[in-house]
Amino acid sequence: MARASSSHKSKDLGWALFFLSPWLLGFVLFTAGPMIASLVFSFSDLNLIKGQFHFIGLDNYIRLFAADPKFLGALTVTFAYALIAIPLTLVVGFLLACLLNTKVPGADFWRTIFYMPSVVSGVVVALIWRGLFNEKFGLINWLLGLAGIVGPDWFNDGRGALSALIIISLWSVGGGMIIYLAGLQGIQTQLYEAAELDGCGPIQKFTRITIPMMTPVIFFNLIMGIISCFQYFTEPWTLTRGGPAEATQFYNIYIYKTAFSYQDMGYGSALAWILFFIVLGLSALVIRSSGSWVHYETEEKA
Amino acid sequence: MIRSASKNAAARRESVLAMILILIGSLTVFVPIAYLVSDSLSSRETLRQQPKPLLPSESYVVTIDGAQCFVYDIEVNGQSRKLAVVEKKGSTWVYANPDDPAERYELGACSVEQRARKITLHWENFGLALQKAPFLRYVANTLVIMVLVTIGTVLSTVMVAFGFARFKFKGSKTLFLILLATMMLPSQVVLIPTFVFFKWIGWYDTFLPLIVPAFFANAWDVFLIRQFFMGIPKELDEAAKIDGCDPLRTLWSVILPQALPVVLTVTLFTMIYVWNDFFNPLIYLQNPKLFTVAVGLQNFSALYFNNAHLQAAGALMMMLPPVLIFFLAQRYFIQGTVVSGVKG
């Protein structure tokens, strides 16, 4: 009896491994293996053009912090962008979701419209906005002109280029909005009814119920926002190639230039590992702090 | 009674305010797209007007006595007329009625801005863009990659999701946590060795590095499908087992027919991902004959930097397929985004 059940179990395990095999293989081949390899590369001077591969110890990491202003520049650009773009898209996406959740006519239609830019390729997004931001003939400088402001030559001006990219990022808030909207629709109406009986006004309902109930979703979008800032590539690459004077040289653009334009794979790997630790650190920080501000419904029941 | 009436009025005010804000917000979606469409139908000259008209309009000429004459908007005896300039005598110009060239007036000179305009749509921009860059070849390349990546993704993620949804063994929870953790992994950390590896086995400048990894399941889609499978009652599996089905058959003939919506969601997301992906084709493809639409369009926009009208035509053509698919199947996209976001 015991034997039969154990052979049954091992048969089940066999099936489980069979079904999981694509991912297990993929994990070894395309995740764990390359991660170890890139760690090893980061201690080397691997360069595919020069055809060299020597271990050079910590030299890449020393160069990063001691002798590479471009690395610090890329970090500064990425953080400056992240510090403005992440909160901005978070707030705008959230408010848009709240608006669509007010039982306005055609809410489904508007939801579709606001989500639509999220399915447009970054290259197309960049080309659309390049026209609108044109110094002489673009809509944006014309509108600014109506208000008596002389608009800059956006993509040939350091601060202008970064600001323009932040504005462009707002065009794709629809993806986050959809998630917030689903979260809002999941909040039980009894909560609001109980609050109304207790005499809460709309602002109190928003700050005491809506926001606390939405913190898990905000938390998810915050972490995804941090990760995507460090992956940001297509729009700045199409619009500025990282210029002018490296004012939009995002971290990922610097990795691309190092590893693929100059084929400096060793140094590129060191850059990638630093990025990995930054993202890990920031995520850990958010997860850690989340205990004090993220509210999970199940905790209440326990 | 009174209280509920005032409450209703307040709710209506709130909803009107929300509607106004939504309409204003939607302009930020519509206006850029309207300008893309308008630019794609404009001539290069039209794009050099400030403000750029949303309806592409141009000055035009008429032929009078065998000469090409520009038509101007000009006031004659208190009436606004469209008259062609047939002769310039210093600061006095001779204007003629295009419909009756004998009707002439001698008046002061006009500036270029006073030229009459009429709406002119340059449909030929699309043909020109297709001529200047082999967009049809880019589309064909992208479709080849898209079909294979979609097959690979659906096959592998359905299998793995079934494995995680239905089999519990020692360590299966840990494996699932590892799968979730890979969602957070910035791809750059595996990028360089993967590239070196593909180059080393001779796959650089082929479609293979873009296709083959899709057959090894990605965490996002596995998670999405697993969530769906978890909602399918286990009794169905057990009934199939009693009928003598092995797990593969159970997956194929019991679970999958129930899970078609989520499979469709994954298919649509994958198709759009491949169509829009820029980074991977950029690093793996060097031969312009192999370019995908995204890389081809970006390359085209760099080569024809001063032809904003052709760039717009190319961009519009590239934007249409995903947007059309999205509008036709929007509820699958929205459900997919919601599951990975809210339950994640």
**What is B212-254 written as a DSSP string?**
GGGGG--HHHHHHHHHHHHTS-HHHHHHHHHTT--HHHHIIII
One CATH from 1.10.3720.10, 3.40.50.880, 2.60.40.1220, 2.40.30.10 for B134-303:
1.10.3720.10
What is the number of H-type helices and E-type strands within chain B?
Answer: 15, 7
The distance of A66 to chain B (nearest Cα, Å) reads 22
Distances (CA, A) of B188 to B220, B257, B343: 17, 37, 26
Report if residue A23 sits inside a domain: no
Q: Note down the domain range covering A225.
A: 68-301
Do the Cβ atoms of A38 and B272 come within 8 Å? no
ipTM field: 0.88
pLDDT in tens, A164-173: 999 999 998 9
Q: CA-to-CA distance for A272 and B190, rounded, in angstroms?
A: 8
List chain A residues with CB under 8 Å of B26.
Answer: 110, 113-114
Please report the pLDDT score of residue A69 as a whole number. 92
Residue B68 pLDDT grade (very low, low, confident, very high; cuts 50, 70, 90): confident
Spell out where chain B has E strands: 57-59, 61-64, 67-76, 79-89, 92-97, 100-108, 117-119
Select the residue of A19, A182, A283 nearest B163 (Cβ to Cβ). Answer: A19
Mean pLDDT lowest for which of A15-24, A159-168, A283-292?
A283-292
pLDDT tens-digit readout, A178-202:
888 888 888 888 888 888 888 888 8
Long-range contacts of A32-39 (CB under 8 A, 24+ apart): A33/B193, A34/B189, A34/B190, A34/B191, A34/B192, A34/B193, A34/B194, A34/B197, A35/B189, A35/B190, A37/B193, A37/B196, A37/B197, A38/A269, A38/A272, A38/A273, A38/B189, A38/B190, A38/B191, A38/B192, A38/B193, A39/A269, A39/A273
| Residue B92 Cα, gap to closest chain A Cα (Å) | 32
- The H or E element containing residue B169 is none
Q: pLDDT tens digits for B174-191?
A: 999 999 989 888 899 999
Tell me whether the omega of the peptide bond preceding residue B98 falls within 30 degrees of 0, making it cis. Answer: no
B77 Cβ under 8 Å from any chain A Cβ: no
Contact B301 A182 (CB under 8 A): no
The CA angle A232-B183-A80, to the nearest 5 degrees, is 30
More confident residue, A191 or A80: A80
- Which residues in chain A are contacts of B25 at CB distance < 8 A? 96, 99, 114
Give the model's confidence band at B30: pLDDT under 50 very low, under 70 low, under 90 confident, else very high.
very high
CB contact B136 to A (< 8 Å): no
* pLDDT tens, position by position, A220-270: 888 888 888 999 999 999 999 988 888 999 999 999 999 999 899 999 999
**8 Å CB contact between A149 and A219:** no
Give the count of domains, chain A: 1
Q: What is the pLDDT of residues B268-315, one digit of tens each?
A: 999 999 999 999 999 999 999 999 999 999 999 998 888 888 999 999
Interface test with B, best of A31, A177, A203, A267 (most B CBs within 10 A): A31
Q: What is the helix (H) or strand (E) element at residue A255, kind and residue range?
A: helix A251-256
Please indicate, yes or no, if residue A259 is contained in any of the structural domains. Answer: yes
Chain A contact for B195 (CB, 8 A cutoff): yes
Binned at pLDDT 50, 70 and 90, residue B203 comes out as: very high
Contacts with B223 from chain A: Cβ below 8 Å:
none
The model's confidence at residue A1, banded by pLDDT at 50, 70 and 90, is very low
Contacts B217 to A, Cβ<8 Å: 22-23, 26
The answer to whether residue A262 neighbours chain B at the CB level (below 8 Å) is no
The answer to whether the CB atoms of A119 and B190 lie below 8 A apart is no
For the cut 70, the answer to whether the pLDDT of residue A65 exceeds it is yes
Task: Indicate whether A11 belongs to any domain.
Answer: no
What's the CATH code of the domain at A198?
Answer: 1.10.3720.10
B192 with A179: Cβ contact below 8 A: no
Q: What is the pLDDT of residue A252?
A: 95
CB contact under 8 A, B18 and A102: yes
**CA dist list (Å): B26 to A86, A174, A179, B62:** 21, 11, 18, 41
For the stretch B228-238, pLDDT in tens is: 999 888 888 88
Q: Do A276 and B26 touch (CB under 8 A)?
A: no
Partners of B175 on chain A (C-beta within 8 Å) are 20, 24
Answer yes or no: do A171 and B32 touch at CB < 8 A.
Answer: yes
Predicted local confidence at residue A302, as pLDDT = 32
Residue B266 has pLDDT above 60, yes or no: yes
pLDDT in tens, B207-217: 999 999 999 99
Q: Mean per-residue pLDDT for B257-272?
A: 91
Q: Does A244 reside within a domain?
A: yes
Residues of B in contact with A151 (CB under 8 A): none
Q: Domain limits of chain B?
A: 57-119, 134-303
A243 has a chain B CB within 8 A of its CB: no
A contact test, residue of B19, B31, B216 with most A CBs within 10 A: B216
pLDDT for res A299: 47
Residues of A in contact with B50 (CB under 8 A): 136-137, 142
pLDDT at A187: 84
Tell whether A99 is covered by a domain. Answer: yes
Assigned domain for A90 exists: yes
pLDDT at A204 over 70: yes
Q: Which residue of chain B has the CA closest to A251?
A: B188
